[in-house]
Structure 1
């Protein structure tokens, strides 16, 4: 068995050896922005928005279906948090006014943002817990209230927040041989994903020119990430010694060798639909052209029929207008 040496670990976001849960609130106050509310509050757990408030509506709006269970168990939740947000709205409005005075700015647009929350690091074996308070908002909030609400949200939204989605992995390259090979993983959840580039050889050094990308959200709530591998210094026949390995908690590692036969380049569609689409477009263009030619031929034939029609063949009343009537027959007379 070949020894797997020279592993380069690439971590996108947080490592997969532990799970980081978080509860964050974002407050945004503004002045002089007519198209933006004076105050906005957003609550997020593990990066997923669960409620929203702004100074225009002045009420809490739930953003997740599982939050209905929260309000069912806590009947005062909406009223209590709406009141808290309204109080924060007045406080931040006053703060904007104070800041404008201190900076001697009476006009223009101004914005002030504040984020506070709590991070909880849970090792898989359950031994120990690391915590980080994003902003010191009081000992009671730090040690009790924020911790309790994070646990509640994780419990209520377990099916959504603690699910695992397996990503699809593909290899791409803009230009054959000359541009980096891109390992693209998409459709995974949560966003804590890792990647490993491995080389199965004991004689050569590991590949070092690797550009890990940023984890980005998809429209369906999953995530995607791309990693660029610069293989210019590696002969193409040796590319297969390297592999892109995606690590995600709860699933087996997904290994994809950098085989040139698996790498798509510009002009190739990942789903293999490029040629059918081109053929379909050509068929549509030919059909449209045939329709235009048919209309032109029809008009030309009608015009030709009118030019060759015999004179006097039209017996309509319009053709007799303006003509002298035939003389009437006169009776015969005898001397």
Structure 2
């Protein structure tokens, strides 16, 4: 629907946590916690290893007292969620089942923004959302709403616990991670930009890759005017080295491409000036030229990422089919 993505260039960081309680998955841990800062996975804990693993090299220097505190917090989450699981969810369901929780807290510089997030999902569907302005629960359906009202005291206590955690422990952890990982978290890596086209009748793809942070703006112009029609912006994806890539496709006829001046414009916080690529024969790389080594390398990267995505999607679909049969 949109042909551009606008980045927030202010130094705002966000801590996100993912908690999963599961049953019926064999050797898979029945509790898993993953913590991310911005787009980097920084901490991991599960019920099998039972200790906090820090996943970034810069995190190795964090004080032991911090590690011990958050190890205890992960244990607290694990015990509390297992209790909730056994008290409400487990008796009502059989087979493979999962409870997923996502929480988050941002910092704008060192200032709390209050834009916290807590969401619960059950078996891949929405379950509960915490309104973090009033710290009251929003149920996904009538059955869940009935549970919230029936267990009013318990759910209000859980909401208060989340409030204390988000306003204190979550933002404290984010501050610590920023202090130790600032050089990595706030690094600026400029994008490389390529124009690709399979053949003259195919869309022209503007590929921006290898950039960090994630926020980027990719747009098209026609004869110097912003172009919004016949433009498709694709999802921003992660590269294996921790950078990102995104693509924008322009559908244009060969005649229009010759008659008008089309340009792809890339804006990123790492750039002093926008990257401007004219959609000319000299700039557009096609697979009609087998000797084009740079295009071959680009296509190889894109194909590898595409194959990885297909494998991942196939794995998830297989897992979900097994889960459905189990239910």
When normalised by structure 2's length, the TM-score is: 0.69
CA distance in 2, matches of 1:271, 1:264: 10
Equivalent positions of 1:102-113 (< 5 A) are 103=92, 105=93, 107-113=94-100
Q: How well do the aligned residues superpose, as a CA RMSD in angstroms?
A: 2.7
- Structure 1: unaligned runs, 5 residues or longer: 1-7, 275-335
Q: 1:117 aligns with which of 91, 99, 104?
A: 104
- Structure 2: unaligned runs, 5 residues or longer: 119-131, 133-160, 297-327
Does 1:161 find its partner at 2:150? no
CA distance in 1, matches of 2:102, 2:224: 48
Shift of 1:101: 4.7
Residues 114-152 of structure 1: CA deviation (Å, up to 9, x unaligned): 011112346xxx9x9854111345444444443333232
Q: 1:206 to 1:100 in 2, by over 3 A?
A: closer
Shift of 1:112: 0.6
Q: Which residue of structure 2 lines up, in the alignment, with residue 242 of structure 1?
A: 262
Contact 2:19/2:100, CA 8 A, preserved across alignment: yes
Shift of 1:268: 4.3
Structure of greater relative contact order (alpha carbons < 8 Å, 6+ residues apart): 1
Does 1:10 find its partner at 2:4? yes
Determine which structure has the larger helix proportion and give its number.
2
Q: Which residue of structure 1 lines up, in the alignment, with residue 58 of structure 2?
A: 66
- Report how many residues are paired: 252
Contact 2:193/2:208, CA 8 A, preserved across alignment: yes
Shift of 1:222: 0.4
Q: 1:191 to 1:79 in 2, by over 3 A?
A: same
What secondary structure is seen at the aligned counterpart in 2 of 1:132?
coil
When normalised by structure 1's length, the TM-score is: 0.68
CA distance in 2, matches of 1:186, 1:100: 44
Larger radius of gyration: 1
Q: 2:281 aligns with which of 247, 260, 283?
A: 260
Shift of 1:192: 0.8
Q: 1:93 to 1:120 in 2, by over 3 A?
A: same
Shift of 1:224: 0.4
